[in-house]
Amino acid sequence: MSTIPLKERFFSDQRFLPKAVAWFLFFVFLVFLAGRYYTVIGAEIYPVLHMVIEFVIVVVAICAALMSWYDYKYKHELKMLLLSLTFCLVAPFEFAHALSYMGMPDFITPNTVDKASTLFIITKLILAVGLFVAVVFGEKIVVIHRSALIPALSFLLSAGAIYLIVTNLAVLPDMYDVAAGSQTTLKVFLGYLVIAIEAVAALWILTKKWAQNKDLYLGMALIIIIMSDLAFTYYFSPYDTYNLLGHIFQVFSFAFIFKAIIDDALGMLYETNKTLARQWEMLSEKNQQLLEADRLKDEFLANTNHELRTPLSAIIAFTEILLDERTGPLNAIQKDYLEEVSDSGKELLDRINGFLDLSKIAAGKTVLYKEEMNVYELIDDVLSKMRPLFNQKSITLELMRADVAVKVWADREKTRQILTNLLSNALKFTAPGGRVTVEVRLDDVANRIFISVTDTGIGIEKSDLEKIFQPFQQVDGTTARKYSGTGIGLTLAKKLVDLHGGTIEVESKINKGSIFTFMLPTEETEEKGKVS
């Protein structure tokens, strides 16, 4: 919540001061009218009029009590809790005062002017003291758990107090002198005491160096309450214009307090909204920057990879020439070393190709050349190329072949790449003696096939299953070091499957093995286009 120097606030475009002066003059004018056209309103009208005004006052008081408690619940500002407590006490007293008014049916005990006046002045004292304490001592943050108990208990407390007061009026000092037909000196004194307390509270707010919007409205409410109480001290008959005016002022002052509380709550919402909007703007800006950085990274990767491939291809080609012994015989050690160079060169080329493929997909430049093909033919081809590697590591590689020919509508090279990546991982993460199985399942109805690669390898933790399809993600650093790799094999496989409009899934149990299954359509489907 923003706090603004009071001076600045007064002269800011909110124009609080002119508004306050206008209201003040308006009320002075009303007081003048009440004196100028002083009348005692008829007994048949006034109780009803009084009841209506009191009803409004009670409703506003209850709303103020609830709103300020709600405000406290979220902001823990003591001021709000004290305001809530004050209005929870004031509302029932105000109601009891209305019910005790002359002309109303008897409330617990026979109604008298003295009874209504006693309840009235107690209400005023509670309100004045409550506002004073809230304004002067409320600038603290106090966390009270189950704070809802406070308004609830104060409602009960005031109900009990009202009962005790109306049943023990005889022992309480008189507030209205029936014989003289006017208020007692004590009542007038208490009236001025109330005004004095309210004046101190108002001055406290208005001389404060820093003020919030709600403080100003509280200040305004206090000034109007003072006007209201001044009007009350003037009245002779409980049905006269001064009394009526006092009540009208009270409605206004309660409305200002209510406005102060609502403003605070709404202001809080407004501020939160503004902060959210600002953060959203910042986020979308950052997002834009990230997207741009990502695009530049893809562009850089694509260019760099391309630049790397040319010299690497030369290294591989010249190593092959040397190994062919076309340039002269090699001894065993030379041959051995050159083979190492050739193998490492090819491995490096494979990885660079992987990066290149990935950046091409990210740039939306990958084109699929789809055709109808027999899936077993393609699998046989991949398996025959990879079998020597499996044999070398003593891992059984088998294909569960069905008798029917299974067709698939896909890009041959890309499908080969998906399967190769899955089989390379199965080989890498399965210990010697293990088994890797490829299986094809046809879903005739939905025109799709599922190709799965099952291994008996190290398995993957459940919590890692999501992240392994993200670029450069490896389950953990130690695995990566032990098994080598770049963390893009599965990303590439997933992107290629996505491009086909398929899906890829994994089931895995740690130390038991994994099943990677990808789905491809068996019939021509709509192009999926770009994959992000």
- Site residues, ligand ADP (CB under 6 A): 425-426, 429, 455, 457-460, 468, 474-475, 479-480, 485-491, 514
Q: In terms of CB distance, is 228 or 417 closer to ligand ADP?
A: 417
Asked if 422 and 346 count as a contact pair (C-beta separation under 8 A), the reply is no
Task: Pick the closer one to ligand ADP by CB: 99 or 475.
Answer: 475
Beta carbon of residue 508, minimum distance to ligand ADP (angstroms, whole number): 7
List C-alpha distances in Å: 127 to 209, 234, 254: 25, 20, 10
First-residue to last-residue Cα distance in the chain: 42
Q: Which is nearer to ligand ADP, 243 or 425 (CB)?
A: 425
Q: How far is the CB of 337 from ligand ADP (least distance, A)?
A: 26
Find the shortest distance in angstroms from Cβ 379 to ligand ADP. Answer: 17
Which tokens is 442 given? 């046809």
Question: What's the rounded Cα separation, in Å, for the pair 376 and 20?
Answer: 89
Task: Give the nearer residue to ligand ADP in terms of CB position, either 105 or 432.
Answer: 432
Question: DSSP letters along 330-356, please?
Answer: --HHHHHHHHHHHHHHHHHHHHHHHHH
Helix (H, G, I), strand (E, B) or coil at 506: strand
DSSP designation for 509: E
Which tokens go with 499?
């491009």
Helix, strand or coil for residue 476?
Answer: coil
When the beta carbons of 292 and 476 are compared against ligand ADP, the nearer one is 476
What is the CA angle 313-319-321, rounded to 5?
105
Q: For ligand ADP, which is the closer residue by CB, 248 or 468? A: 468
Backbone angles phi, psi at 237, to 5 degrees: -105, 140
Rounded to 5°, the CA angle 491-495-498 comes to 140
- Residues with Cβ within 8 Å of 495's Cβ and at least 6 positions away in sequence, in order, are 358, 361, 531
Min. distance of Cβ 142 from ligand ADP in angstroms?
Answer: 53
Identity of the residue, 130 or 354, whose beta carbon is nearer to ligand ADP in the bound complex: 354
Nearer to ligand ADP, 93 or 355 (CB): 355
Question: Closest approach of Cβ 490 to ligand ADP, in Å?
Answer: 3
Residues 6+ apart with CB under 8 A from 134: 78, 79, 82, 83, 86
Distance CA 514, CA 522 (A): 25
Burial 115-151 (b: 16+ CB within 10 A, else e): bbbbbbbbbbbbbbbbbbbbbeebeeeeeeeebeebb
Nearest approach in angstroms of CB 514 to ligand ADP is 4
Q: Who contacts 329 (Cβ-Cβ below 8 Å, separation ≥6)?
A: none
- Closest to ligand ADP by CB, 214 vs 428, is 428
CB-nearer residue toward ligand ADP: 221 or 453: 453
Q: Which amino acid is at 521?
A: P
| Nearest distance in Å: CB 440, ligand ADP | 18
Which residue carries 């893809």 as its tokens?
298
**Shortest Å distance, C-beta 393 to ligand ADP:** 14
Are 132 and 200 spatial neighbours (Cβ–Cβ below 8 Å)? Answer: yes
- Enter the DSSP assignment of 42: P
Give the residue with the Cβ less far from ligand ADP, 267 or 487: 487
Shortest Cβ 506–ligand ADP spacing (Å) = 8
Report how far residue 435's alpha carbon sits from residue 513's, in angstroms, rounded to the nearest whole number: 10
Q: CB of 263: closest distance to ligand ADP in angstroms?
A: 56
Q: How far is the CB of 349 from ligand ADP (least distance, A)?
A: 15
Residue whose structure tokens are 């040397």: 322
CB of 474 vs ligand ADP, minimal distance in Å: 3
Residues 6+ apart with CB under 8 A from 333: none
Residue ranges of alpha helices (H) inside 207-240 are 213-234
Nearer to ligand ADP, 486 or 525 (CB): 486
Q: Which lies closer to ligand ADP via its Cβ, residue 184 or residue 486?
A: 486
Residue with tokens 């993200």: 470
Q: Phi and psi dihedrals of 454, rounded to 5?
A: -110, 135
16 vs 220: CA distance, rounded Å? 10
**Any idea which residue has 């408690």 for tokens?**
69
Helices and strands of the chain, counted as H and E runs = 14, 11
Smallest separation, CB 421 to ligand ADP (Å): 6
